[in-house]
């Protein structure tokens, strides 16, 4: 019963922030993914297994997840500013940022996620060719793996988990930790968060352009509750490696509008203003060296972009 109560307090939130999100644009200030990207899950059984599928970014909740062909018990969706832990906190996604989430659910919560996965194996998640409407970078201090268990399954355990949600961050410090602590991150009776998990490896390519490729590799054991004590799991519950499997996990991270950062040094300063002068009056299609200064974006650098660059200045002005 206590597991069910905590589950209601700590489950992922589904917040709809716009119709057609991920296809259109919610706000001109937020970077928006366009079309679909490809999700690939790879792991080892008696040999390597790899399954892929394309999804857009219109997801806002479990009902939007669809089965990944070749992995019958895995359902997936992508989301932009519509689903994730950071959506619960509120106020921690900036004016020129977007929250990107890649979510995984079980089709049947009583069945294994990854049949035949070798003991001690790892999962590799790849999200490739994420096309944005403008150049972006990733704020690694916001990257998180969130894991969620089913309350009814947890309540059957002799030593049930108090927290149904676990959180694994990429970095220490984790951005906005103070906003998460006491709302989603708890220390009692034991922590439901683990900061800077070195065995969770994030690889990001394409930063500073409008196409990202993101991969996340972590031991399957990261899907074990931080409260797990090695207890036996009752027959009928999914526990292929000796601990209760979650029914949901997702990775989330913030992408930041890289417009204005002409020299790709991570800030917008006087050096970028000089770049603006060099690009003024020129076309700026995707792949153009002037693309980052087209802050509208309308594929052209003109007087309207001066204000956009100045508004984004973070260095000496």
Q: Which of 48, 82, 54, 83 is nearest to 68 (CA)?
A: 54
In the chain, where are the structural domains located? 2-257, 270-311
How many Å apart are CA 129 and CA 37, to the nearest integer? 5
Total-model pTM:
0.84
Which residues, 6 or more positions from 28, have their beta carbon under 8 angstroms from its beta carbon?
none
List beta partners, residue 34.
131
pLDDT on residue 178: 97
Secondary structure (DSSP) of 215-235:
EEEEEGGGGS-TT---PPPPT
Check: CB of residue 202 under 8 Å from CB of residue 222.
no
Token pair, residue 284, equals 């700026």
Angle of helix 270-279 relative to helix 304-311, nearest 10 degrees, comes to 160
How many Å apart are CA 98 and CA 207, to the nearest integer? 14
pLDDT on residue 315: 60
Token pair, residue 20, equals 């057609």
Three-state DSSP state, 62: helix
270-279 long-range contacts, CB within 8 A, separation 24+: 270/315, 270/316, 270/317, 271/315, 272/309, 272/313, 273/309, 273/310, 273/313, 276/301, 276/305, 276/306, 276/309
Check: CB of residue 196 under 8 Å from CB of residue 127.
no
Q: Which strand (E) or helix (H) includes residue 253?
A: strand 248-257
Per-residue pLDDT of the chain (317 residues; tens, 9 = 90+): 444 434 433 333 323 222 223 333 335 689 999 999 999 999 999 889 999 999 999 999 999 999 999 999 999 999 999 999 999 999 999 988 999 999 999 999 999 999 999 999 999 999 999 999 988 999 999 999 999 999 999 999 999 999 999 999 999 999 999 999 999 999 999 999 999 999 999 999 999 889 999 999 999 999 999 999 999 999 999 999 999 999 999 999 999 988 777 777 767 888 888 888 888 988 887 667 788 788 877 888 898 888 888 888 776 54
How many Å apart are CA 268 and CA 296, to the nearest integer? 16
pLDDT on residue 28: 62
pLDDT on residue 85: 98
How many Å apart are CA 273 and CA 295, to the nearest integer? 13
- Look at the alpha carbons of 244, 148, 34, 139 in this order and tell me if their dihedral is positive or negative: negative
Bond prior to 299 in cis (omega within 30° of 0): no
Provide the 10 A C-beta neighbour count for residue 288. 15
List beta partners, residue 254.
99, 139
Three-state DSSP state, 204: strand
How many Å apart are CA 186 and CA 256, to the nearest integer? 28
Provide the 10 A C-beta neighbour count for residue 203. 11
Check: CB of residue 33 under 8 Å from CB of residue 23.
no
């Amino acid at each position: 019963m206590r597991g069910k109560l905590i589950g209601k307090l700590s489950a992922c939130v589904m917040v709809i922030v716009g119709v057609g999100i991920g296809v259109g644009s919610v706000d001109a200030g937020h970077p928006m993914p366009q079309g679909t990207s490809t999700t690939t899950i790879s792991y080892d059984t008696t040999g390597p297994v790899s399954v892929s599928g394309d999804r857009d970014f219109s997801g806002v909740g479990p009902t939007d997840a669809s089965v990944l062909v070749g992995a019958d018990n895995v359902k997936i969706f992508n989301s932009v500013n519509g689903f994730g832990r950071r959506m619960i906190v509120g106020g921690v996604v900036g004016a020129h940022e977007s929250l990107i989430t890649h979510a995984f659910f079980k089709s049947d919560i009583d069945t294994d996620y990854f049949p035949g996965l070798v003991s001690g194996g790892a999962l590799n998640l790849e999200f490739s060719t994420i096309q944005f409407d403008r150049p972006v970078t990733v704020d690694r201090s916001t990257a998180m793996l969130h894991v969620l268990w089913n309350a009814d399954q947890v309540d059957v355990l002799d030593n049930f988990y108090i927290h149904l949600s676990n959180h694994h961050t990429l970095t220490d410090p984790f951005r906005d930790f103070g906003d998460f602590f006491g709302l989603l991150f708890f220390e009692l009776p034991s922590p439901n968060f683990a900061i800077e998990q070195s065995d969770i490896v994030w690889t990001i390519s394409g930063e500073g352009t409008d196409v990202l490729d993101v991969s996340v590799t972590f031991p399957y054991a990261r899907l074990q509750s931080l409260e797990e004590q090695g207890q036996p799991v009752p027959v009928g519950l999914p526990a292929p490696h000796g601990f209760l499997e979650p029914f949901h996990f997702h990775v989330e991270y913030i992408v930041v509008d890289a417009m204005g950062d002409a020299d790709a040094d991570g800030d917008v300063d006087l050096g970028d203003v000089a770049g603006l002068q060099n690009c003024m009056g020129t076309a700026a299609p995707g792949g153009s060296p002037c693309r980052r200064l087209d802050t509208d974006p309308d594929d052209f650098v003109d007087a309207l972009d001066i204000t956009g660059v100045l508004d984004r200045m973070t260095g000496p002005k």
